Amino acid sequence: MEMKGLMKSLVLALVVAFVFTSCAKQPTQELNDTKAAIDAVVTEKGDIYAKDELKKLNDDMTAANDEIAAQSKKFFKKYGKAKEMLAKIKTDAEAVKGLIPARKEEAKNNALTAQTEAKAAVDEAKALLEKAPKGKGTKADIEAMKADLAGLETSLTEVQTAIDSEDYFGAKDKATTIKDKAVGISDQVKLAIEKVTGKKK
């Protein structure tokens, strides 16, 4: 009878130990879901449009991983806190992902506006060059500016390439530069025309 009691106690102890140690499994599913939510932010170019937010998500993820690692070393594992952390990160990631389209749209609109302005500036310079004297007697400066403008037109195609690859900030910067250069050429053409008309008088 005493032996039977001892066995019973031993089995019970083993069951209890098993419940406390093995049943507390790592939150693998939650971990994968959260990672996927962060990856979705990265795919949406969060590193460009939600840089600070993405950093926070990654930091929080590191903290959650630390918590999981700390619990996994314990005899009595408790993953409740880690699960809570992961759930919050996942919710945050989804919210951040939701922010990106509007930011992207804004950047895209800015790039498109800059592109339109650059194209208008190039067209204006081209129109001015058309007005400039042609053929023999054409001022050398005008010919040089035509070549410069051709270079700018080629650069303008790179703006579209940047827009197509969703590099809206890069596209905007390039377009602004082209616009500035084209305006510079227009000013020079005007000066050159003035020079010619001045001489004719």
Partner 1 sequence: MRLKSFLIFFLLIFVSSGCKTSPVPSEFQEAEIQEQELWRAGATVYENQDYTLYKQRLKTAQQNLIKEKAKFGWFRDYDSLQEELRSVLAAGDKILKKIQQQKERQSKIIANQVSLLENKINTLKSITVSINERGEARKCLARAEVLLMEVEQLSQKEKYDAVSKRLETVGLYLQRAEQVVLSRLERYTDEAQIRKWKKWVDEAIAESRAKGITALVVNKLDKKLIVYKKGLLQATFDVGLGSNGLSDKLYSGDNATPEGTYKITKKFPTTQYYKALLINYPNEEDKKQFAEAKKAGLLSPRTGIGGDVEIHGGGKDSLTKGCISLENEDMDIVFDLVGVGTPVTIVGAIETNSSIIQALKNL
CB nearer partner 1, residue 83 or residue 133: 133
Instruction: State yes or no: residue 170 binds partner 1 (CB under 8 A).
Output: yes
- The rounded distance, in Å, linking the Cα atoms of 41 and 130 is 49
Q: Which two tokens stand for residue 64?
A: 């959650």
Q: Which of 64, 125, 128, 178 binds partner 1 (CB under 8 A)?
A: 178
**Smallest distance from the beta carbon of 197 to partner 1, in angstroms?**
13
By CB under 8 A, the residues from 93 to 152 that bind partner 1 are: 136-141, 143-144, 146-152
**Smallest distance from the beta carbon of 17 to partner 1, in angstroms?**
25
Instruction: State yes or no: residue 200 binds partner 1 (CB under 8 A).
Output: no
DSSP-assigned states of every residue in 73-116: HSSS---HHHHHHHHHHHHHHHHHHHHHHHHHHHHHHHHHHHHH
CB nearer partner 1, residue 33 or residue 173: 173
**Number of residues located near partner 1, criterion CB under 8 A:** 28
**Residue 66 CB coordination number (10 Å):** 12
Q: Specify the amino acid at residue 114.
A: A
